[in-house]
Structure 1
Amino acid sequence: MSTINAIIQELSQAGKSPSEICRILKARVSRAGVYKALKRLKETGSTLPKVRSTPSRTVRTQKLIKTTREKIRRNPKRSIRMLASEAGVSYGTMQNVLKKDLCLKPYKKTKVQLLSQATKTKRLARGKLLLEKLENGTQPPVLWTDEKLFTVKAVHNHQNDRIYAVHKEDIPLNELLMFRRQKPASVMVWGGVTSTGQKTPLIFIDEGVKVNQHVYLKMLKEKLVPLIDATFGEDGITLQQDGATSHTANIVQKWCKENMAGFWPKELWPPSSPDLNPMDFSIWSILEREACCSNHANIETLKVKLRSCWDKISPETIRAACSDVHNRLRRLVRAKGGYIEN
């Protein structure tokens, strides 16, 4: 390109007009390129583009970088604001030191189940069995089930719940404030989904009723079995339950073995494994986000909203969540029964 610039400069100095230079060099440079070069020639005396110099550092000195590195080494939980205040620099400067100079990224802590070594061993052994069952092609569709407590109080995400406005005073008070209730009314909800994209109706457990083995067994007999027969017919399903004491009670396990064609006994499901149940790691979160984005006047309005949002969860969403179980089981095996959600 420097040769072309030199030719443009020679032709211009020889008295050639910009149009003539364009015709002469049309196969080698665009018309815009010629005019840019001539403009530089007129302004700087040369057709060569300016060499941009790297701005010198005035605040992000090597001393500041070294000091910050040592502070982070001693305590990696320090905030950017605190580091900037201690160093006497702006928030943006300290942010650049951490990101550009030290190549550091902030990571949030993740809430996980406390796993003992014995629990990890069981998770690994049972995870392998489940993976084998799901991948051998002979397993009927699995009905993944779970219970969850929903309250009339809206779910609030402290990290992402923002309202944009020019001034804080422009925001209505009921939009700006998040009201709390002491012991808000709640309802326990049971639900289930299958890898084929189907879902059961929601079953609401009466307020104040503790779901023990007797309550759960009554629900199985009076609601769940008729529901399974009506929804899945002769195709059949395999009932999955987690390790809740109401599920693992001997009378519940005995009744399921005697009355259900497809059933995973308590010895098969890995302990402390909500990260393997699509209801727990996906479906409940979707339902809660849609149904509990605002406060509800009472339990009945909450139930209506839960049913409405539950009906809107698509088969594609359910199938995607259930198919992720295979990947999670493989990650569980690779992690030797340890944590798989980072």
Structure 2
Amino acid sequence: MIDLRKRVFSMYGKNKNLKKIDIVKHFELEGFKRSTIYNIIKRYENGLPIEDCPRSGRPPYFDRKKLKRLQHAAANRIGVNQRKLATKFGVTQPAIHYNLKKLGLKYYKRQKAPKYTTKRLQQIPKKCGNIRRQLTTKHTFIIVDDEKYFSFSNDDMPQNTGFYSFDKEHVPDNVKYKTKEKYSKKVLVWLSLSAKGISKPFIGTAKGPAINSNVYIKECLSKLLVFIETYHSHDDYIFWPDLATSHYANETTQWLIQHQIKFIPKQVNPPKVPKARPIEDFWSILANKVYEGGWEATTELQLKQRIRKKIKEVDMKVVSNMMNTIRTKLRKIENSGPFAIL
């Protein structure tokens, strides 16, 4: 801008015979705006210098050098907050907030993700690529299964953590306080699903055994077999279990082979890719429905009935859409690693 002013001042001062419009047209041909040139001519006529005059008001504390220091101190660093930065730079927290915004820096919450070793980060993309390219096609139905524990209370549900009130002191205790047992009662729920449907669930008892190979075969895989015969008897399908010990025990794999259920071999199954298996999202949907409105169970039977009822209420279109994204997610992991789908 200073160089442009020098040129306009020089042309207008040395060529008194030139009209303003001639000077404007000359610089317009160079790509400058008409209003900019007229403003510079007016500045010359008012006797103002080429350089900007000192401005009134308090000068900003953060000059370019300090802004660069602030950016270095804040960008892509863990454990940084505005109050700490305010103390470090000797300014107020609102000043830090303003200048971070000026720099275009935004605060993001860290996402939870599995912890991977270097070796696994190398293995996972290859295994996902094998599933996508060698074991499945775009016409293959992928069947997944999983287990989840449901407690009697809704303590862990984000939508049930707070409440509205005119006066916090006059709120019923069951609303004001989130009580929690040291050893809360839970029931185990297993089911399988595909783009076509949801299997009949296995719901254990509060004092029942954990899932081992015998329980898995008797209570879970028997229902999986019925599910496959009902929905996929004439389809190209593959069963994708997670890497739980009971899922790949010798008895389990022998049972699957005996009943001619095509499944992903253990050596090909990628570890720690929960977001690639949509059943994790299904559990979130189901839990939101079960504990909606702060619902809590008083008996085991009540909880089981509630779970069965809410499974039937899950929108199958949502499930189908989730299951149809598996191969897309596998491609992303294959190309960019497991963090690509988080």
Normalised TM-score (structure 1): 0.71
Aligned to 1:174: 174
Deviation at 1:88, TM superposition (A): 7.2
Whether 2:81 is the aligned partner of 1:62: answer no
Distance 1:91 1:287, change over 3 A: farther
Could you tell me how far 1:262 is from its partner in structure 2? 3.0
Matches within 5 A, 1:270-285: 270-280=270-280, 282-285=281-284
3-state secondary structure, aligned to 1:189: strand
User: In 2, distance between residues paired with 1:248 and 1:123?
Assistant: 18
In structure 1, give the amino acid aligned to 2:130.
L
> Residue 253 of structure 2 corresponds to which residue in structure 1?
253
Give me the whole-angstrom Cα distance separating, in 2, the residues matched to 1:116 and 1:217: 32
Paired with 2:58 and 2:166, the residues of 1 have a C-alpha distance of 33
Is 2:333 the counterpart of 1:323?
A: no
Q: How many Å separate the matches in 2 of 1:83 and 1:160? A: 34
Any residues of structure 2 matched to 1:76-87 within 5 Å, and which?
76-84=78-86
Aligned to 1:106: 107
The equivalent of 1:187 in structure 2 is: 187
Contact 2:157 2:288 in 1 (8 A): no
Match of 1:130 in 2: 131
Shift of 1:180: 1.5
* Alpha-carbon distance, 1:331 to partner: 1.0
1:234 is the counterpart of 2:236? no
Residue of structure 2 in register with 1:314 after alignment: 315
Deviation at 1:122, TM superposition (A): 2.9
Q: Distance in 2 between matches of 1:106 and 1:217?
A: 48
- Deviation of 1:256 after TM superposition, in Å, equals 0.5
8 A Cα contact 1:213 1:247, kept in partner = yes
Show the counterpart of 1:95.
97
Shift of 1:163: 3.3
Preserved CA contact (<8 Å) 2:154 2:160: no
2:142–2:323: 8 Å Cα contact kept in structure 1?
no
Partner SS, residue 306 of structure 2: helix
Q: CA–CA distance in 1 between the matches of 2:305 and 2:317?
A: 23
| Alpha-carbon distance in 1 for matches of 2:195, 2:321 | 8
* 1:62-109 CA distance string (max 9 Å, x none): 1675674464369642223444567676654432222x2232111222
Question: 2:187 and 2:75 mapped to 1: Cα distance?
Answer: 47
Q: Does 1:265 align with 2:262?
A: no
Maintained 8 Å contact 1:65/1:101:
no
SS in 1 for 2:133: helix
Alpha-carbon distance between aligned partners in 1 of 2:146 and 2:325, rounded to the nearest angstrom: 17
Change in 2 beyond 3 A, CA 1:94/1:217: same
Q: Which amino acid aligns with 1:204?
A: I
Cα offset, 1:323, TM superposition = 1.7
**2:202 — aligned with what?**
203
Counterpart in the other structure of 1:216: 216
| Other-structure match for 1:333 | 334
Give the secondary structure class of the aligned counterpart of 1:251: helix
Which stretch has the larger CA shift, 241-250 or 216-225? 216-225
Aligned AA for 2:305? Answer: V
Change (3 A) 1:160 1:118: same
Q: How many residues are paired up?
A: 282
CA contact (8 A) 1:152 1:292 kept: no
Distance 1:68 1:189, change over 3 A: same
Indicate if the aligned counterparts of 1:115 and 1:338 stay in contact, CA closer than 8 A: no
- CA 1:243–1:95 in structure 2 vs 1: closer, same or farther (change >3 Å)? same
> Residue 153 of structure 1: CA displacement?
2.4
1:152 paired with 2:139, answer no
Q: CA deviation at 1:228?
A: 3.6
CA displacement at 1:204 relative to structure 2: 1.0
1:263 alignment partner AA? F
Q: What per-residue deviation string (whole Å, max 9, x for no partner) do you get for residues 177-200 of structure 1? A: 22222111011111111123x111
Deviations 1:235-254 (A, max 9, x none): 35432211111011122112
CA distance in 2, matches of 1:70, 1:301: 56
User: Do the aligned partners of 1:155 and 1:289 also contact (CA within 8 Å) in 2?
Assistant: no
Looking at structure 1, the residues matched to 257 and 120 of structure 2 have their Cα atoms a distance apart, in angstroms, of 25
Corresponding residue of 1:72? 74
Letter paired with 1:120: L
Q: 2:190 is paired with a residue of what secondary structure?
A: strand
1:159 offset after TM fit, Å?
Answer: 9.2
2:155 and 2:161 in contact (8 A); partners too: no
Per mean C-alpha deviation after superposition, the further-off stretch among 234-243 and 219-228 is 219-228
Tell me the distance in 1 between the aligned counterparts of 2:252 and 2:162: 46
